[in-house]
A and B are shown apart, each in its own frame.
Chain A
Amino acid sequence: MNGMALILFRSAQTNHLTYLDMKDYVLTFLRIVCVFLILGLPTATAAQQTTVKGRITDAASGESIPGVNILIQGTTVGAVSNLNGEFTLETDGPDAVLVFSFVGYNTQTVPLNSRTYLEIYMTEEIVSIDELVVVGYGTQRKSDLTGAVSVVNADDLEKVHSNDISKVLQGQASGVTVHSSGEPGANPRIKIRGIGSFRDTEPLYVIDGVPVSGMSDFSPSDIESIQVLKDASACAIYGARGANGVIIITTKKGKEGKMKITYNGSYGIQNIVKRMDMCNRVQFQEMNTIARSNDLGFWNPARANDSTSIYFIDSLDTDWQKEALKSAYITEHDLSLSGGSENISYNVSMNYFDQTGTIQGPGPRYKRYSFRANSDYVQGRFKFGESVYYSHSDKINLTTSQWGNTMVDLILGAPTIGVYDSRNLGGYGGASDYVHDQIIPNIIAFNNLFESNSLRNRILGVAYGELEIINGLTYRLNLSFDRTDWHDTYFFPLFYVGDRYRNDIAYLNDTRGDAVTLLMENTLNFTRQFGKHSVNLLAGYTAQYGRWQQLSGHAEGYQPPYFKVIDAGPNLPKSVTGTERIHTISSLLGRVNYSYADRYLLTANFRRDGSSRFGKDVRWGNFPSVAVGWKISNEDFFHVNFISSLKIRGGYGVIGNEQSVPDYQYAAYLNQYTTYVIGNALPPASIQTRLATPDIHWEEKSTSSAGLDAAFLQNSLEFSFDYYYNEATDLLFQLPLPLSNGSNSDPYQNSASMSNKGLEFYVSYKHRSGDLYYEINANATTLKNEVLKLGRIDIPVNTWMSNTEVGKPIGQLYGWEMIGIFQTQAELDSSAAQTARPGDIKFLDWNGRDADGNLTGEPDGIVNDDDRMYLGSAIPKVTGGMNISLGYKGFDLSIFMQGAWGNKIVNRIYGIMNEMKYGNYSVESYENFWRLIDPAQPALGGTTNEWPRPTVNDPNQNNRMSQRIVQDGAYWRIQNVQLGYNFNQNILNKIPGVTELRLYIAAQNLFTITKYKGYDPDIGNDGLFYRGLDNGSYPSPRTFLAGIRISL
């Protein structure tokens, strides 16, 4: 009671007792007496109301702050400060706790302690400078980091609507590149600091301490924070699986206090906006007839296009893009309950996500239901907790013809073919060889006829126990169980969609499998401060066991009505296949974090990893790393007022990787399915069919990194700069061996080396001026990739579109150079040999071979494979993003932009629409194609030097890989614009129970600046040697959505 009395007395003092008149004094005194009386009567406390007034000012400038939300903790009662920063609030007692919050300021929790007037000084939020960062088996102050770590702002993440966490990360952090596709449920490709490995470039995801893969199963709405670890010293602690970088995700945890219920919901409409300009029926018929007549007697005009034929089609003019592209929706509902007391906290959330596709038909569509429950308990020196995550996803896949690609076939669709035709089995129109003589499929038919579904159930259970053995020494045991079950079905019904697309044997493929990963981690952590020395030691042992198994069945002969189970397929034989794999890793790890006087920082890691994927003698790898930092701004001599903090840091380390190689590759095996019919039976057979390399071992990636972090002007301006150089050696990949070895696939070999280097920048600035608050942050990353070694004797790896050789980036685009069109036979005869006719493309002859078969670099009079040349790199030189946030009173606006520069894309869509061969043609090619100026005088040549003649046979292969289909892939995209309004407390007071209410509208993929001529320069394709190939990548739709967030 003494304390209480003292506060009351002080409270009276702050009321400027001496300036008050007697009446006020008496009233105040009586009020105090009343309070004493009420406190003496415990049963009456809740009923007592107190009016609290106050004023809120900025701690730094002394200006008043209007619009601050004031909430009585544990209730829905609140208020909002007026223009002078003043507020009045009725509390339900003198011991109420008030919460003051305002965008850009630190939230304050102030116990009333019977005061009736409060003077609140709010400080601007500068948490990013010294927030705690999760770094693997522990946390560190951000200012103590020595490694390259990007922290992604969870508020920014929340604004991108996607099912996948990696899509959400696109453009948000320096060093992180994401290629995505617009297909619902598709997995974006994500890379950290370039291509770390030939086969596996996915970073490791760690959710609440557990390494997981298959991120699309996890709902982004559960994320509290994301850290991206980019260099060896940061990643080393996840060594064996961290070579491609580590993305650490912390999910939302309950906080002490009353239960908080939050609902988040959004609904959006999606559309593919871009259209390719394709020929209409008349143009198509004319051009197809010309193409066929150009093949000199090979083809007559197709009857459908021949106005003299009784089969001539003039009743149709199908615009396939118009028919096939439709509006789709994306919607998400998220409900969470969280809270806790002194010893227990909990967070439970449920999420529903549904996204439909923009192509006619049931697929693609992705639906996911997920549930998460976390709780943590503390009892003295003992702490334990668990989290359970379950998700069920139901994906309907986009289906296309047996050979085709939806986007390619979409633009090629012939205007003379109808979408529907009730006479055909299945009801869809298709090309007849006799009438149309076309092989273009009807994509709407295929996306409707085939049924391809993928069901996944994922359960991730984590439990941990932590015991502080002595002060500063903690033992922690982490156990996790991660199981995914999948069930994929593919049903192929009976149909007739044209002569080339028919099926008379309906079949079903039914595949089921599961993958289980068990993980045990034992760690000992010791933290102690000795004078100016601060030490943190970590030692641990981890073991991981994974089993994967799958079973597939195939049955045929289904007849309508279809029963889509294996039993109902009557034909014999039915096929069934099944396999199993087991993968284990065990690791010893240790880390030292040392800092002296909060100025000099040292981190050293060591780990020893063993993997079941390698033979006994080469199974273990040792991977050390070290990093140092210097907080210059903490030095006594450092006195620069406008610099709030300055730190330089650098490190070197080596990490191992074994993710690039599948299980069991180090031994040679027999294949027992090499049977052959002998004596009308299949006698047993076995033989080695694949070469093996017993000595395959760990890939190693060494990284050198140096960085600088600075903050200026009371931390309102922050700047980070990093340089990195990574060298990946002993990369495992299936180095192509001569076919003459007879092996069915090339064995894995530690056969390549590669470097990635670049710069990363991050800058942010935030400022408040009166009611206006704004923040801008931007990041950019440069990347230069170079192959250092390729196989035993550095033989280039060549594909139809790329060549990878030492000294050049991986998957460098490679093809012929077009230097014009052959105008006359005379020109043809006097040029390097090509199997061409006038009107065909003239390619550059610049290289040849001497008698010994060595390349000369001189023209040899023939255009062949030797004349291919580099046509640019598919790897962007720079990628980056920019976030702009504006707040004004209750309104907030955020704009997120993102892009890439300096890369080329092989635009197969563009190539195909201008192939002038099969299918429809672009209007551009129709208007420009080569024709003789005067057919009577062929020596006069033709009309253009840019567009070849149409030809179906295409003997010159005009459409070969050349710079004709290589386009600039640079783009800058306004990825997300969101405008929101947070209702202030005055309004919320009128809605019973509501503590927070936010409404927002947003646009995604609003606008793209690009010269790229395809649907979307952000292509999902990121193959190893087929890099930058837009082979009909599903474009990202434009989305408009609206959402609500409400808390109780």
Chain B
Amino acid sequence: MTKFLDGYHRLLTWVLAFAVAILIVPVSIQIFSRFTALIPAYIWTEEMSRFFFIWMVMIGAMIGVRERLHFDVDLWNELSPRANAALRIVANLFVLGFTGVTIYWGIEFTKFGWNQTSELADLPMWLIFIAWPVAGVTWLLFLIEAFARDIDLYRRGENLGGNAPEKAL
């Protein structure tokens, strides 16, 4: 399970890097085509960058759950390792609720966009909308892993390795 998730995680990271790197291309074309006659002023550049952008956000949000990158607010000062583990389980239960909603309604959302195409490049819209159900399923996998880990840490009364705010880096 962990091995599979590690591989999946690496794949997502790679796709994320690709999405960030590719973002710069259509925007650059857009700028240069304005000043030179060498490149025609493609109309789809703006749309394409927006689509890559949406996928970038959603993939980052998926990885964020496993790497604990999503920012939270810490109102509690120093808690025992057990209380920390328990609190992580409670918080993740709520995230699980959101995951359920994202899977169920995300599929509805994708169905809704099944026959739509984009305004400029005529791309099928489900290619974008499907990012939500994919995110939902990915979160579900990562959350199951997190629950197993936190229950174990609670039993043993140990803290999660690493300093919590450091994830912001």
Same complex = no
Q: Which residues of A contact B (CB under 8 A)?
A: none
Q: Which residues of B contact A (CB under 8 A)?
A: none
